[in-house]
């Protein structure tokens, strides 16, 4: 315990040593293209989106303002290629006492993640976003890529978005809520502890095409996809549907919707069969409680059991029970635009994969996020796990603490 506290103090003091005066420090890539500060698009801190951030994404990343354009017949793109270096430095500690290694001893990853993010306007109606991984020689260089083609029809933005991702799932094609409906848009690092969708494992490899209709108060997305990263012989024959509303009510930015994953496919000369079988509902509210910004995020999800080991549900390999979860998280800005505090709870059923009847899996989480500049933040999360799934206590214990320095340059 003493070593953990010392390590935590070192990370915290190292992070705070970078504190600068509170000036608008523009985040990379899109901030450079638009000439706008990070908090123009984000609520409280990156990566949670506000209404303006949703509008920018709805327009396919094509909005400009901060840069001159190179224009001609059928040509309209920024005079520079906009890029960002994204890094996470993470210390993680679990309390398992069976195997005193890895996170049980305390594990520092420098970096935990590193990527080159390149994106923005490719034309008047075409945008793109590329995440190129750094430092992982065995991983695909193109971790994720999408290219929205957007046209406005009768006040509705109609998009066709080809995409691929190694980890974000079918919802990567298009998503704007902060509930964890897509892996990378969430308020805290402990994603499976605050999001039902992430707990039922709707992330993973996906390649497909999204067809999206969106206005300021709603959006709908149909995606045809395959459970692979890039090259495949499996379709895309799976289906994903998403519909949500995003109104403003009494000054609060409200969102809520439903997700559905379905279909089945086979590949590798027909010897492997997979199905997608899951659904989720979610909601969020972002506004001010007095002088304090407040975000509340709720979700419920269920992934059906697999038909067999040879015909598995991508989201739940267990052939015993459905994998289900509900989650709620609140985040309040006690020092607006600087320090937020979070608290959340997730109730879960893990599908009983070991067939021992023990599937209750709950998590309580607290944490904080300190904004050093708008593009550099320090985050702390601690989660406590309980339920009969933790009887006996697993090798990595029933408690996890994460300290993370996130930076985008």
Instruction: Tell me what the mean pLDDT of segment 323-342 comes to.
Output: 97
Give Cα 30 distance to the centre of its chain. 18
Residue 173: phi, psi to the nearest 5? -50, -50
Convert the pLDDT of each residue in 56-115 to its tens digit: 999 999 999 878 999 999 999 999 999 999 999 999 999 998 767 789 999 999 988 889
Q: Is the predicted pLDDT of residue 3 greater than 90, yes or no?
A: no
Burial class (CB in 10 A: 0-12, 13-18, 19+), 110: exposed
Pairing, β 272-275 against β 311-313:
parallel
Nearest in space to 195 (alpha carbons), one of 120, 64, 283, 289: 283
Task: Tell me the average pLDDT of the chain.
Answer: 90
pTM above 0.75, yes or no: yes
Instruction: Tell me what the mean pLDDT of segment 172-201 comes to.
Output: 97
Convert the pLDDT of each residue in 12-38 to its tens digit: 334 333 333 333 333 478 988 999 988
Instruction: Tell me what the mean pLDDT of segment 334-356 comes to.
Output: 95
pLDDT at 380: 98
Q: b/e for 177-197, b at 16 or more Cβ within 10 A?
A: bbbbbbbebbbbbbbbbbbbb
Least trusted range by pLDDT, from 23-32, 145-154, 363-372: 23-32
Residue range of the domain that includes 57: 2-408
Q: Tell me the three-class secondary structure of 310-344, residue by residue.
A: CEEECCECCCCCCEEEEEEEEEEEEECCCEEEEEE
Structural domain total, the chain: 1
Which position has the token pair 């309209």? 76
Q: Is the predicted pLDDT of residue 233 greater than 80, yes or no?
A: no
Least trusted range by pLDDT, from 11-25, 45-59, 123-137: 11-25
94 neighbors 397 (Cβ within 8 angstroms) = yes
Q: Give every CB contact of residue 231 below 8 A, 6+ residues apart in sequence.
A: none
**Domain at 39, CATH number:** 2.40.160.10
161 neighbors 147 (Cβ within 8 angstroms) = yes
Nearest in space to 315 (alpha carbons), one of 306, 328, 327: 306
Which residue has better confidence, 391 or 24?
A: 391
pLDDT at 13: 35
Q: Is the predicted pLDDT of residue 214 greater than 50, yes or no?
A: yes
Which parts of 205-306 are beta strand (E)?
206-215, 218-226, 238-245, 248-249, 252-262, 264-267, 272-275, 278-289, 292-303
Convert the pLDDT of each residue in 196-208 to its tens digit: 999 999 999 999 9
Nearest in space to 212 (alpha carbons), one of 257, 278, 266: 257
């Amino acid at each position: 315990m003493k070593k953990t506290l010392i390590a935590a103090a070192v990370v915290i003091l190292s992070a705070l040593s970078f504190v600068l005066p509170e000036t608008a420090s523009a985040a990379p890539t899109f901030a450079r293209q638009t000439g706008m500060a990070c908090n123009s698009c984000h609520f409280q801190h990156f990566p949670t989106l506000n209404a303006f951030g949703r509008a920018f994404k709805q327009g396919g990343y094509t909005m400009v303002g901060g840069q001159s354009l190179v224009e001609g017949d059928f040509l309209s793109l920024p005079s520079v290629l906009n890029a960002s270096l994204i890094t996470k430095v993470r210390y993680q500690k679990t309390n398992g006492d069976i195997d005193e290694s890895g996170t049980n001893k305390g594990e520092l990853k420098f970096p935990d993640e590193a990527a080159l993010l390149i994106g923005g306007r490719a034309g008047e109606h075409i945008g793109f976003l590329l995440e190129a991984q750094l430092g992982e020689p065995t991983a695909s260089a193109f971790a994720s890529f999408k290219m929205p083609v957007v046209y406005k029809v009768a006040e509705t933005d109609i998009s066709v978005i080809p995409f691929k991702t190694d980890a974000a799932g079918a919802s990567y094609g298009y998503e704007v809520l902060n509930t964890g409906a897509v892996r990378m848009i969430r308020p805290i690092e402990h994603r499976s502890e605050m999001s039902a969708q992430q707990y039922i494992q709707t992330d993973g490899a996906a390649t497909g095409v999204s067809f999206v209709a969106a206005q300021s108060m709603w959006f709908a997305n149909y995606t045809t996809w395959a459970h692979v990263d890039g090259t495949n012989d499996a379709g895309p024959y799976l289906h994903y549907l998403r519909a949500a509303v995003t109104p403003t009510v009494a000054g609060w930015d409200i969102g809520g919707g439903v997700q559905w994953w379905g279909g089945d496919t086979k590949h590798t000369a027909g010897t492997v069969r997979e199905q997608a079988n899951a659904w989720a509902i979610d909601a969020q509210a972002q506004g001010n409680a007095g002088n304090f910004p407040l975000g509340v995020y709720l979700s419920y999800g269920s992934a059906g059991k697999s038909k067999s080991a040879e015909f598995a549900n991508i989201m739940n390999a267990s052939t015993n029970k459905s994998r289900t979860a509900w989650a709620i998280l609140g985040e309040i800005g006690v020092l607006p635009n600087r320090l937020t505090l979070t608290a959340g709870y997730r109730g879960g059923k893990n599908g009983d994969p070991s067939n021992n009847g023990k599937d209750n899996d709950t998590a309580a989480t607290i944490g904080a996020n300190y904004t050093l500049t708008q593009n550099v933040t320090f985050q702390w999360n601690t989660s406590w796990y309980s339920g009969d799934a933790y009887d006996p206590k697993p090798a990595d214990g029933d408690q996890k603490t994460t300290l993370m320095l996130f930076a985008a340059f």
